[in-house]
Amino acid sequence: MLYGRLSEFKEKEIKALIERGGELANVSGTVSSILADVLSKGDVALREYTQRFDGAMIDAIEVSRDEIENAYNSTDQELIKHLEIAANNIRKFHEAQMPEKMWFMQLSPGIELGQKATALASVGAYVPGGRASYPSTALMTIIPAKVAGVRKVVMCTPPGPDGKVNPLTLAAAKVAGADHVYRVGGVQAIAAMAYGTDSVMKVDKIVGPGNVYVTSAKMQIRDRAEIDFPAGPSEVLIIADESAYPAMVAADMIAQAEHDPQAVSVLVTNSETLASKVKEEVLKQAQSTIRGEIVGSSLKNAAILIAESIEQCIDFSNSFAPEHLEIITNDDETVLQKIEHAGSIFMGNYAPVPVGDYASGTNHVLPTAGYARMYSGLNIMHFLKISSIQRINKEGLATIMDTVISLAEKEGLQAHADAIRIRFSS
């Protein structure tokens, strides 16, 4: 774990922290090969790769309705209640994001301009497995698509060695409203949803997080299906001053670290006292966490940085462009106004990242590795297309006729100009 004053680190050390990630190129060849196999061999390739990577021999690729119902019915009702609470909050937040389905404005007499929002026809949600099950990701990816009005929402998630999907993930898929669920994960799942197979429906867009292989696959299939954004190993950056509680800040760093050995946890503070206490707490809390091996590996990527001022903390955060940003200061609102790049923002001592991971209602599928500089986290607009509309009568056309003709002729497009003239030729 890096620890010390920002001003004392070498430029290459800070650059390495800011430019985290960069592993896509290392796996692109392997990913390309799997994608090509699925494209040419379909379900046969899905079964082969599921056996190779998940240790499971599967026959039926689609999870049956009976299996989903049995998983839901066998899940503890207290857990179902909590899934419903989370789902309700996620639904409410994304309903609030919905734009007006259609609107018009009068530009001038005879010219009306408008916009129409239309949901995508089909979306594929990728829900990771591997080190843990992620029913929350089923809620986060499926519910917004359904709120937007997507007609077909399918889910891919890897099975366990027994060929079965985690029952709680299946229960979450039912709560969220998935139309189809497939027991296939990894690169092969992204390929199946992008290309379509005999068992897996081809979709227009694929959303959801994954490891570096899944992220690489999403980037490579964009000629067949759109994606949300690159979403790799998770990360948090915490801007804090002396008003933050050290144990809470440390707990938030540990919580992020337990995701994955590649996860990144960073504290940047203007308080040397806070930095010292958080470091002590991180080392203490890391010893008692259940996923200690993963946390230990992840903390090698962590950093506690001491800045000269909150302004320097903000500048560092904007350079880092974190997936998750926590702001714990005496003046959170002022800091918030100056943040330019962040996937999701959590304000105050009592808004840790896990509330957004599960139940506050905001989406936890977010751009990582600095991609928050150019991408928004998963939101309702990822599931909508916007069409512009023009409603123009002859009088309205007459007001812009000369402008259109002049520009068309200047570009050498005579037929464009004639398409205007013919409407006034009689």
Would residue 367 count as lying in a domain?
A: no
Q: Is residue 374 part of a domain?
A: no
Range of the domain at 296: 2-21+233-361
| 65 plus 106 within the same structural domain | yes
In the prediction, which pLDDT does 131 show?
61
Quick check: 192 and 200 in contact, CB under 8 A? yes
**What does the pLDDT look like over 298-321, one tens digit per residue?**
999 999 999 999 999 999 999 999
Q: Is residue 370 part of a domain?
A: no
Of 26 and 232, the structure prediction assigns the larger pLDDT to 26
User: How many structural domains is the chain composed of?
Assistant: 3
Whether residues 239 and 198 fall in one domain: no
CB 326 within 8 A of CB 239: yes
Separation CA 126–CA 117 (nearest Å)? 24
What's the pLDDT at 79? 97
**Per-residue pLDDT, 277:** 98
**Whether residue 68 sits in one domain with residue 215:** yes
pLDDT mean across residues, the chain:
96
Instruction: Tell me which residues are annotated as active site.
Output: 323-324
Q: Within this chain, do residues 55 and 39 fall inside the same structural domain, yes or no?
A: yes
**Shared domain check, 204 and 60:** yes
Mean pLDDT within 90-96: 98
Is 356 a member of any domain?
Answer: yes
Dihedral Cα 400, 406, 410, 415, nearest 10 deg:
80
Question: Residue 21: what pLDDT?
Answer: 67
- pLDDT at residue 211 in the model: 87
- Claim to verify: residue 90 and residue 200 sit in the same structural domain: yes
Same domain, 179 and 148: yes
198 and 309: one domain?
Answer: no
More confident residue, 129 or 351: 351
- pTM for the whole structure: 0.94
Q: What is the 3-state secondary structure (H, E, C) of the chain?
A: CEEEEHHHCCHHHHHHHHCCCCCHHHHHHHHHHHHHHHHHHCHHHHHHHHHHHHCCCCCCCECCHHHHHHHHHHCCHHHHHHHHHHHHHHHHHHHHHCCCCEEEEEEECCEEEEEEEEECCEEEEECCCCCCCCHHHHHHHHHHHHHHCCCEEEEECCCCCCCCCCHHHHHHHHHHCCCEEECCCHHHHHHHHHHCCCCCCCCCEEECCCCHHHHHHHHHCCCCCEECCCCCCCEEEEEECCCCCHHHHHHHHHHHHCCCCCCEEEEEECCHHHHHHHHHHHHHHHCCCCCHHHHHHHHHHCEEEECCCHHHHHHHHHHHCCCEEEEECCCHHHHHHHCCCCCEEEECCCCCHHHHHHCCCCCCCCCCCCHHHCCCCCCHHHHEEEEEEEEECHHHHHHHHHHHHHHHHHCCCHHHHHHHHHHHCC
pLDDT range class, residue 70, cuts 50, 70, 90? very high
Task: Residue 130: name the closest of 230, 214, 45 by CA.
Answer: 214
Binding-site residues = 126, 188, 211, 234, 256, 259, 324, 357, 411, 416
Kindly report the backbone phi and psi dihedral angles of residue 270, in degrees, each rounded to the nearest multiple of 5, phi listed first.
Answer: -95, 5
Domain boundary among 318, 346, 361: 361
Q: Among the three residues 227, 243, 265, which one is the final residue of a domain in this structure?
A: 227
Q: Is the pLDDT of residue 382 over 80?
A: yes
| pLDDT over threshold 70, residue 405 | yes
Q: How far apart are CA 125 and CA 382, in angstroms?
A: 12
* Cα–Cα distance, 349 to 61 (Å, whole number): 45
Summarize the annotated binding site for Zn(2+) as residue ranges.
256, 259, 357, 416
Per-residue pLDDT at 151 exceeds 70: yes
Q: What is the per-residue pLDDT for 246? A: 98
381, part of any domain: no
- pLDDT mean over 38-67: 97
Pairing mode of beta strands 205-207, 180-182: unpaired
In degrees to the nearest 10, what's the CA dihedral of 115, 224, 194, 169? -40
Q: Domain boundary at 168, 192, 227, which?
A: 227
Q: Identify whether 290 is part of a domain.
A: yes
**Residue 270 belongs to a domain with what CATH number?**
3.40.50.1980
As a whole-number percent, the residues of the chain with pLDDT over 90 amount to 91
pLDDT, residue 254, reads: 97
Asked if residue 372 is part of any domain, the answer here is: no
What is residue 22's predicted lDDT score, i.e. its pLDDT?
Answer: 65
Q: How far apart are CA 244 and CA 276, in angstroms?
A: 13
Give the pLDDT confidence score for residue 90 in this predicted structure.
98
Structure tokens at 412: 């050498």
Band (pLDDT 50/70/90 cuts) for residue 26 is confident
Tell me, what's the pLDDT at 339? 98
344 and 241 together in one domain: yes
Write down the pLDDT at residue 355: 97
Amino acid at 74: S
- 145 plus 39 within the same structural domain: yes
Contact present, 158 and 51 (Cβ < 8 Å): no
Structure tokens at 66: 């009976």
- What are the C-alpha distances in Å from 281 to residues 43, 277, 300? 49, 6, 16
- The reply to whether 39 and 12 lie within a common domain is no
Q: Based on the fold, state whether residues 68 and 175 are members of the same structural domain.
A: yes
Tell me the binding residues for NAD(+): 126, 188, 211
> What are the pLDDT digits (tens) for 246-275?
999 999 999 999 988 889 999 999 999 999
**pLDDT tens track for 179-225:** 999 999 999 999 999 999 999 999 999 999 988 899 999 999 999 99
In a domain, 46, yes or no: yes
Looking at residue 97, what is its pLDDT? 98
Q: Please determine, for residue 139, whether its predicted confidence score (pLDDT) is greater than 90.
A: yes
pLDDT at 242 (0 to 100): 97
- Please state the rounded mean pLDDT for residues 346-358: 97
Show Cβ contacts of residue 148 under 8 Å, excluding neighbours closer than 6 positions: 94, 98, 119, 120, 380, 383, 384
Note every long-range contact of 52-58, with CB atoms under 8 Å and residues 24 or more positions apart, other chains counting: 53/158, 53/185, 53/186, 53/188, 54/129, 54/158, 54/159, 54/160, 54/161, 54/185, 54/186, 55/161, 56/159, 56/160, 56/161, 56/162, 56/163, 56/183, 57/163, 58/159, 58/163, 58/183, 58/184
